[in-house]
A = this chain, B = another copy of it.
Amino acid sequence: MQPLAQSRAEALLARFHDVRDFSRLLARDLEPEDCVVQSMPDVSPTKWHLAHTSWFFETFVLKTWQKNYRPAIPEYAFLFNSYYNAAGNMHRRDLRGLISRPTVAESFRYRENIDRHIDDLISSASEELLDEIEPVVVLGIHHEQQHQELLITDIKHVLAQNPLHPVFRKRPPEKTAAPPPMDFIDFAETIATIGHTGPGFSYDNEGPQHRALVQPFSLASRPVTCGEYLRFIENDGYRRPEFWLSLGWTTMNEQRWEAPLYWEKRDDEWWHFTLSGFRPVDENEPVTHVSYFEADAFANWSGTRLPTEFEWECVAQGETIEGNFVESERFHPAPTKAAGLSQLFGDVWEWTRSSYSPYPGYRAAPGALGEYNGKFMCNQYVLRGGSCATSQSHIRATYRNFFQPEKRWQFNGIRLARDVA
């Protein structure tokens, strides 16, 4: 017998709860003390992520559509607004680690309270109301997935400060095999169609879809490995200015970089802090926790360059979204075994040489939700493809992630490209 079709509201709520539950699962092994710390201004405490994602639903869904909605603790609107000027004043980002209350338990109570309200609102909504609510709830779901990735990369940074090397998730050591050699695959000149269109979810920065002329280029079959990156280090890559952008050279010297973030030399061997503890660097893994500056310098050293985001998207359009995502709960990149184009999605975000800028015809929406993307289109570089901390259901070929070129705490890596003569 055929089961009854799930209603639209039920489907939406199922998806909502899946994602909400996954946030709780991520915090499973953390102590309350872990969830308070902000180890640098870019990092937010775990409990802030838990509360902020709830604030998002409260502010943009409940306050808009729930009749007579009264927030239990009005100060949360101030404490958990991240950067939406149109939604009111907010607590200073760099001071989030000074706020011990609400406690972790209270933050979970806040979540449960919001979830209950969302349940009520959606399950009793008319189809017309659902038409209005659904896009914002879906945005909130994707928003929470983004914060899940940040929760992971942020807690990694927090735990890494501690000489006791706390473990986020146990994972046994493993023997790996060397991946196939890096090949370069040629692509012909094309007038590409770039950006998202159609019914599925996408962020506003992925549109409008438009055509762009892409010259012939060649793309590496897989990301750069730790082993390959070690050759760059050993070849004095961090001491030769000719490979570096001027700003990269300055930054690198000021911050005394000598290797990717979390790497540390002990007795002549490189170790790194992982979410499963302090371990020897595995040369077969994709290198990660590198800045744009390091990715660019590595490319220059190797006689190649980084791809543009359009080149990357041209290639990705035909590929299936498979790989090492957060669903695997590995929380770390893994070596590839595949020959040919591989790891385009998952494992590590891939720096492109494209500055994060609006597509032709782009216009941010009015109001607070218009602040989601457009106002950050300056001095950031686009990354593509998702990482081991990204949800598989969150990523797309048109997805544009972006960070300042000096940032290293995300699972960012390097895929090379070349001009075709």
Partner-B contacts on A (CB < 8 A): 31-37, 39, 47, 73, 75, 78-79, 83, 85-86, 91, 95, 97-104, 158-159, 161-164, 166, 191, 210-213, 215, 241-242, 244-249, 292-293, 353-355, 357-358, 360-361, 366, 370, 375-379, 405, 419
Contacts and interface: CB of A to CB of B under 8 A. Distances in A.
Contact of A166 (B100, B166, B366): B100
Given A99-B162, A245-B378, A247-B378, 19 more contacts: A31-B101, A32-B103, A33-B35, A33-B100, A34-B100, A34-B101, A36-B36, A37-B97, A75-B164, A85-B241, A101-B162, A242-B366, A242-B370, A244-B375, A247-B379, A354-B357, A355-B355, A360-B419, A379-B379
A49 B357 CA distance: 35
A360 B405 contact: no
Nearest to A79: B163
A189 B100 CA distance: 53
14 contacts: A31-B101, A32-B32, A32-B33, A36-B36, A37-B98, A73-B164, A83-B246, A98-B158, A212-B213, A213-B213, A244-B375, A354-B357, A355-B355, A360-B419
B161 A95 contact: yes
Contacts of A78: 163
A159 B98 CA distance: 8
A197 to B, nearest CB: 16
A390 to B, nearest CB: 23
A264 to B, nearest CB: 15
A91 B163 contact: yes
B211 A213 contact: yes
Contacts of A292: 378
Contacts of A159: 100
Nearest to A216: B360
A102 B31 CA distance: 10
Contact of A104 (B33, B35, B98, B158): B33
A364 B8 CA distance: 56
The 3 closest A-B pairs by CB, nearest first: A355-B355, A85-B241, A33-B100
A242 B85 CA distance: 8
A317 to B, nearest CB: 18
A79 B166 CA distance: 14
A247 B101 CA distance: 29
Contacts of A79: 163-164
Given A33-B100, A246-B83, A191 B213 contact: yes
Nearest to A377: B245
B244 A101 contact: no
B164 A101 contact: yes
User: Which of A47, A103, A210, A242 has the most chain B CB atoms inside 10 A of its CB?
Assistant: A242
A86 B212 contact: no
A364 B212 CA distance: 25
Nearest to A379: B379
B375 A246 contact: yes
A177 to B, nearest CB: 35
Contact of A379 (B95, B162, B360, B405): B405
Contacts of A249: 85, 375
A244 B83 CA distance: 13
Contacts of A244: 375
A160 to B, nearest CB: 10
A293 B158 CA distance: 33
User: Which of A47, A83, A361, A375 has the most chain B CB atoms inside 10 A of its CB?
Assistant: A375
